């Protein structure tokens, strides 16, 4: 049962070909901790099929009447291929991510998706990480690439991949609710990292 712990809201964006576990681990940990989180499709369909042919039904689409990126306090981009390419091809999403990042609002990306932030010019002079196969994209666009599981640089949070999704999820909980909520969430999921 969801028990809301904050008025802040998060949107996790789903594109066909995404890495479903990266997205769903983040949604799960935010939900468990009481942070309102919507699964948002970047297509006109609520159903999105992952790179592993798992179909997820989202809560909303960016094409819905009345949908607004500004209803959220954080935008989250999961990775996966070709999901990352499909997110990158979504102009309204890229515009919103750019506006969020440049105005100091929160953006998070994991696995290949930090390459989107790099290509949008948002990581220049910033610390970040990504899947090792995409770290060259970050450095080519002016980022200092770190090998940490999760890197927070101001309002931008990046993470390496599925193996670091729990750490990223806990960092998002930390951002919204603090360390006590992180410890409570760790206990709920029997986290031993």
Catalytic residue among 21, 37, 58, 111: 111
Count the helix, strand and coil residues of the chain and give each as a percent rounded to the nearest 5.
40, 20, 40
CA distance 81 to 65: 28
CB 107 within 8 A of CB 156: yes
**Distance (Å) of CA 145 to CA 9, 26, 72:** 28, 22, 28
- Our answer to whether residue 21 is catalytic in this structure is no
CA distance 132 to 165: 15
Q: Which helix (H) or strand (E) holds 182?
A: helix 179-189
> Which of 87, 139, 79 lies closest to 111 in space, CA to CA?
79
3-state DSSP of 108-123: EEECCCHHHHHHCCCC
> Which positions are annotated as active-site residues?
111
């Amino acid at each position: 049962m969801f028990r809301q712990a904050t008025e802040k809201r998060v949107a996790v964006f789903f594109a066909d070909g995404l890495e479903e576990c990266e997205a769903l681990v983040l949604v799960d940990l935010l939900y468990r901790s009481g942070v309102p989180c919507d699964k948002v499709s970047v297509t006109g369909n609520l159903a999105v099929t992952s790179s592993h042919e798992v179909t997820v039904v989202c809560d909303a689409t960016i094409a819905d009447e009345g949908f607004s990126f500004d209803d959220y306090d954080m935008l989250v981009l999961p990775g996966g291929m070709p999901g990352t390419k499909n997110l990158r091809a979504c102009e309204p999403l890229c515009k919103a991510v750019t506006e969020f990042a440049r105005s100091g609002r929160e953006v998070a990306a994991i696995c290949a998706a930090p390459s989107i932030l790099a290509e949008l010019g948002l990581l220049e002079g910033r610390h970040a990480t990504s899947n090792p196969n995409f770290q060259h994209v970050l450095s080519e666009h002016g980022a200092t690439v770190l090998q940490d599981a999760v890197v927070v640089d101001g309002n931008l949070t990046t993470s390496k991949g599925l193996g670091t999704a729990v750490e990223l999820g806990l960092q998002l909980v930390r951002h919204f609710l603090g360390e006590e909520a992180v410890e409570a969430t760790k206990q709920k999921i029997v986290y031993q990292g």
